[in-house]
Amino acid sequence: CTTLYRNHGYVPTDEELAAVSIGDTRDQVDAKIGRPTTSGLLNDVGWFYVQSRFSYRGAFEPKEIDRQVVAVTFTESGTVANVERFGLERGKVVPLSRRVTESNIKGIGFISQLLGSFGRIGPGIIGAQ
């Protein structure tokens, strides 16, 4: 069976990236390559552009086969300090912790959920034998 591919995220092309130079301000970077897909935690010191390509083969778990990451880090004064480009190799396979913070509102019970959505008269009633 053939493999299906899907792209997610967006990374500026090399020509666009070449235009960004050390010392640009955030607005200049925004004008040249647009806003980041995501950014660092503390007052967006780092702007990160991520584009990944997944391959879907039949019933198997989709695999991320290619990822391009562009990291634009800023100095305290808000000018570009460094532009880094790397791929999947630096990513780590991280086992996700299954601990979940329980929410204390339980919502409606099992039975009322089940009965809550009744009402459609099934066509089965008049179907032939």
Q: What's the rounded Cα separation, in Å, for the pair 3 and 57? A: 5
Q: Which of 34, 67, 37 is nearest to 51 (CA)?
A: 67
Report the residue from 8, 23, 75, 78 that binds another protein according to the rule CB under 8 A.
8
- Residue 26 near residue 76, CB atoms below 8 Å: no
* 3-state DSSP assignment of residue 37: coil
CB of 51 to another protein, least distance (A): 9
CB of 10 to another protein, least distance (A): 5
Question: Which uninterrupted H or E stretch holds 73?
Answer: strand 63-74
Q: Which is nearer to another protein, 19 or 115 (CB)?
A: 115
Q: What's the rounded Cα separation, in Å, for the pair 46 and 69? A: 12
Q: For residue 111, state whether it binds another protein (rule: CB under 8 A).
A: no
CB of 74 to another protein, least distance (A): 13
Task: Please report, as ranges, the residues that interact with another protein according to CB under 8 A.
Answer: 1-2, 4-10, 34-35, 37-38, 40-42, 46, 48, 50, 52, 54, 56, 58-59, 61-62, 64, 67, 69, 71, 86, 90-101, 103-108, 110, 113-129
